[in-house]
Structure 1
Amino acid sequence: MTQTPQTSLAELAEFGASIRAALTTLSGSEQVRAALFADPDPRTWAVLAGQLELPGLLLAEEHGGSGLTTVEAAVAFEEAGRALVPGPLFATAALAVPLLVALGDAGALARYGPPIASGELTATVALAESDGRWSPDAVTCRAEPEGGGWALTGGKELVVDGATAGLLLVVARSAEGELGVFAVEPDAAGLERTALVTLDLTRRMARLTLDGVPATRVGGDASGAVAAASDVARLLLAAEQVGGAQRCLDMVVEYAGQRIQFARPIGSFQAIKQRLADALVQIESARSAVHAAARSTGRDLARDSRVAALLATEAYTFISAQNIQLHGGIGFTWEHDAHLYFKRARAGAQLLGGPGDHVAALADVLDTEID
C-alpha cells in the first residue's frame, strides 16, 4: 500500500479487506490452535512479512519499511486481533518498531530496520519488571559502562515473545538515573530467557534474567522515546482489541440466529437483543476512539491512546464474556474458540497498563491541560 497525505476511507477499507482475506487462511482456528503448544508456522510469518509487509509498516522506506502511519497500522492490527494472529507480529511491529523509530538512532535503524521489515529479524521490548507494570518509572534494571559498551543487570517480566525474539530492546537505568534502551543479542553471555505459562496461550511471554549482559545502547536519554513508543503500542493494542471484540460479536450474532429455543431463535428475545446492542455500542465507541488516536500525535496521542485503551478494553472484556455466556454449554468447551478470545481479552487488558493506570494517566493529562 502506498502512503498518501490522507489515506481515504475507501483505501483503508480495501487495505483491511486484503489483510483479512489473507488471515482467513493464515490464521484460522486450526492454525491458531496449532500454535498454542508449538511454534507458529514459519510460513505464516513469511507471508505476513514478505507479502503483507506488516512488520515494517511504520518503518521509513529508507530503512526497508513501507513508510506508513499509525492510521494504516491501526487497520492492520484490528484485522490481526480479529484473527487472533499468533507469533511475533505484535512484539515486533507494535512494540519494537515504534521504539526504534522514536529513538531516532540512524545507525540502529539502518542495522535493524531492513531485516525487521523483511521478516528476517523479530524483536521485542523488555520494560516491565517484578511488579508487571508497563511503566518507565518502575525500571530498576541497571546499565553500567563496560569497555566500549554496556553491561545490564536485573530482571524483566512478561516480555512478549521474549524467549524467541532475535533482538531484545531492554529498557534500563544508568547509575545517574538516566533511562536508556539497550540492544541485546539473544545468545548474549549472562542472559537467561525463560518461557512463561500464562492465561493467553496465543501470545507468548517470557522472563529475562540479566547478569552483566553485554549490550549496545540505542540513542541517548530514552525517557521521551519510551513514552512516545508506549503511546503508539497502546493504540495498536486497542485496535487489536477492537478487532477481537468485533469477531466475538459476529460469532454470537450468527449463533443467536441459529440457536432455537421455545420454537424461536434466541436472537429474537429482548434480553439477548439488549446485550448485543450494548456490545455493538461499546465496540463502535472503541473503534471511533482508536481512529481518533491513530490521527493524533505528541501530547494528543498520549491522551487519546489512553481513551482508546479504556474503551477497547471495556468492549473486549464485555463481549468476549457474553460470547461464552450466550453460546451456552458449548461456549464453555475447549473445542469452541470463544475461550481463546476471552483469554486474549483478559490478558490484553493488563498488558500495557490496566484501566486504573489509564484513568490515572488521563487525570494527570487533564490536570496539566487545565493548568
Structure 2
Amino acid sequence: MGIDARERRELAAAVRDAAASGPRGFLDEAGHPRRDTRLWKVLTEQMGLAGLLLPEPDADGGAGVTEVALVLEQLARSLAVVPGLSSLGSAATLLRLTGTEPALALMERMAEGEVTATVMWPDLAAPSVVPEVVADGPVAAGADSRVTGRAEIVLDAADADVLLVPARNGIQAVVVAVEAHGPEVTCAARNGLDLTRGLAAVDLAQAPGTVLGSGVDLPAALDLTLVLIAAEQVGIAQQCHDAAVQWAKERIQFDRPIGQFQAVKHRLVDLLMALELARSALDVATRAGDDYLAEPTPEHARALAVAASMAKAQCGAAATTVADESLHILGGIGFTWEHDAHLYLRRAKSLEVLFGAPATHRARFANLLLQEAAHA
C-alpha cells in the first residue's frame, strides 16, 4: 500500500483530533443516539475517509484495510456517534469485493459524502453468512430486483441512506442495494446496550433495489468486518487503559497517588499486556486483509479467515477486560452516569458478541488450522 508509517501516525492524530469532543451531546438515556453530522462531514467531505477503499488508481494514496482499521480505532477511542463501522467499514469492504461498475459508483457517492450505507447481515450473532433475504429478478449487475426478508438487528439502519442486502436468487447469492427509506422498507429503531450506536430491525416486502453483483465472496466480506470490529476493540482498550493510568497518577489516597500502590501497578501492567497482545493480533489481521484485497485467492481467503477469528477473539476479550478493570480502578466516579467509563464498557460488551463471542472464534480458529493441517 502507498501510505507509510509516518502518514498513518498523522492520519490517526487527525482523526483523533476531529473526534475529540466525544459522544455526550448526541446521546439520550433511551438508547437512541443521533448522528454527529458535523464530525461526519469533516471525516467524509474534508478528510475524504469514505474513499479509503476505492480501488487504485481512483484512491488517493493507495489505502486499504490497515488504514480503515486505523480510522475506526481512533473513532472508537472517542465513541464518535458516526456510522464508521457500518459505512466506512462493513459497507465499503463489501462494495470493494463486489467490484462491479454499480458497486464502484455507489462507493464514489459514499466517498463524496452524498450517502451512507450499511449491510443487512442475516445474523449478527454468527460468524457466518447464510443469506435469508430472497431476491427476485435478473442477477446481472445493474438489473432491477425485488427483495423480501427481515433482519432483527442492522447497525445504523435508521440513519442510513442505502441498505446493502446479501440475498439469494435461486441458487445464486447476490448483493442488492435498496434505498433505506424507500417503498416497502420498514425500519424500526431498537434499544441496545451500546448507547453510542444505533440499531434497527428492518423488514423488506418486495422492496425495489438494484443488483450490485453476484458470486461475491460473502464470507471474506464478513471476515474483513471482523477485522474492523477488532480495530474498534483495540481503540476501546487503549482509551480505557490510558484513562486508568492517568487516574492512577492523579487520585490521592493516604497522601500518595494510587498508582504507587503495588496492587494497582500490577493490575495496570496486566491490562497493558492484554492490550499489546490484542494489537499484535490486529496487525496480523489487517495485513491478511490487505493481502486478500490485493490478490483474492483461496489461500489468502483462508489466511484472512484464520487471522480475523484470532483477532476477534483476542481483541474482544481484551476490550471487555480492560474496560471492566479500568472502571474499577476509577472507583466510585467510574460507576456514575456522568463519567464515560460505562459507555466504553457498553461498547466493549456489545462488540464482544457481535458476529460471535471470543469462544466461538477460538473454536473457528482451531477448526481452520486443523483443516489446513489435514490438507497439508
| TM-score, structure 2 as length reference | 0.89
Aligned match for 2:146, one of 148, 151, 175: 151
Match of 1:238 in 2: 230
Question: Using a 3 Å threshold, how does the CA distance of structure 1 residues 31 and 118 change in structure 2: closer, same or farther?
Answer: farther
CA contact (8 A) 1:64 1:117 kept: no
Determine if the alignment matches structure 1 residue 50 to structure 2 residue 42.
no
Match of 2:67 in 1: 72
* Distance in 1 (alpha carbons) for counterparts of 2:363 and 2:279: 22
Listed as ranges, the gaps of 5+ residues in structure 2 are 292-299
The structural deviation recorded for 1:102 is: 0.5
Determine if the alignment matches structure 1 residue 15 to structure 2 residue 18.
no
SS in 2 for 1:295: helix
The structural deviation recorded for 1:160 is: 0.6
Aligned match for 2:111, one of 117, 130, 140: 117
CA contact (8 A) 2:33 2:81 kept: no
Match of 2:372 in 1: 369
* Distance in 1 (alpha carbons) for counterparts of 2:226 and 2:206: 31
Question: Using a 3 Å threshold, how does the CA distance of structure 1 residues 29 and 123 change in structure 2: closer, same or farther?
Answer: closer
Select between 257-266 and 192-201 the one with higher mean Cα deviation.
Answer: 257-266
Provide, for residues 2-31 of structure 1, a one-character-per-residue CA deviation record: whole Å limited to 9, x for no partner: x62xx433332222122222222xx42544
The structural deviation recorded for 1:293 is: 1.5
Determine if the alignment matches structure 1 residue 250 to structure 2 residue 242.
yes
Match of 2:176 in 1: 182
Provide, for residues 44-87 of structure 1, a one-character-per-residue CA deviation record: whole Å limited to 9, x for no partner: 11101012222211112565666411122222121111111112
Match of 1:133 in 2: 126
* Distance in 2 (alpha carbons) for counterparts of 1:246 and 1:287: 9
SS in 2 for 1:184: strand
* Distance in 2 (alpha carbons) for counterparts of 1:144 and 1:84: 39
Give me the CA root mean square deviation: 2.2
Amino acid in the other structure paired with 1:43: R
Select between 357-366 and 276-285 the one with higher mean Cα deviation.
Answer: 357-366
The structural deviation recorded for 1:278 is: 0.8
Amino acid in the other structure paired with 1:205: L
Overall identity of the aligned pairs, in %:
38
* Distance in 2 (alpha carbons) for counterparts of 1:32 and 1:312: 27
* Distance in 2 (alpha carbons) for counterparts of 1:328 and 1:109: 49
Provide, for residues 240-270 of structure 1, a one-character-per-residue CA deviation record: whole Å limited to 9, x for no partner: 1111111100111111111122222211111
The structural deviation recorded for 1:208 is: 0.6
* Distance in 2 (alpha carbons) for counterparts of 1:203 and 1:134: 20
SS in 2 for 1:183: strand
* Distance in 2 (alpha carbons) for counterparts of 1:368 and 1:16: 37
* Distance in 2 (alpha carbons) for counterparts of 1:328 and 1:305: 34
* Distance in 2 (alpha carbons) for counterparts of 1:64 and 1:213: 32
Listed as ranges, the gaps of 5+ residues in structure 1 are none
* Distance in 2 (alpha carbons) for counterparts of 1:267 and 1:71: 34
Match of 1:335 in 2: 338
* Distance in 1 (alpha carbons) for counterparts of 2:175 and 2:236: 31
Question: Using a 3 Å threshold, how does the CA distance of structure 1 residues 70 and 355 change in structure 2: closer, same or farther?
Answer: same
CA contact (8 A) 1:40 1:86 kept: yes
* Distance in 2 (alpha carbons) for counterparts of 1:29 and 1:175: 44
CA contact (8 A) 1:234 1:352 kept: yes
The structural deviation recorded for 1:181 is: 1.3
| TM-score, structure 1 as length reference | 0.90
Match of 1:356 in 2: 359
SS in 1 for 2:342: helix
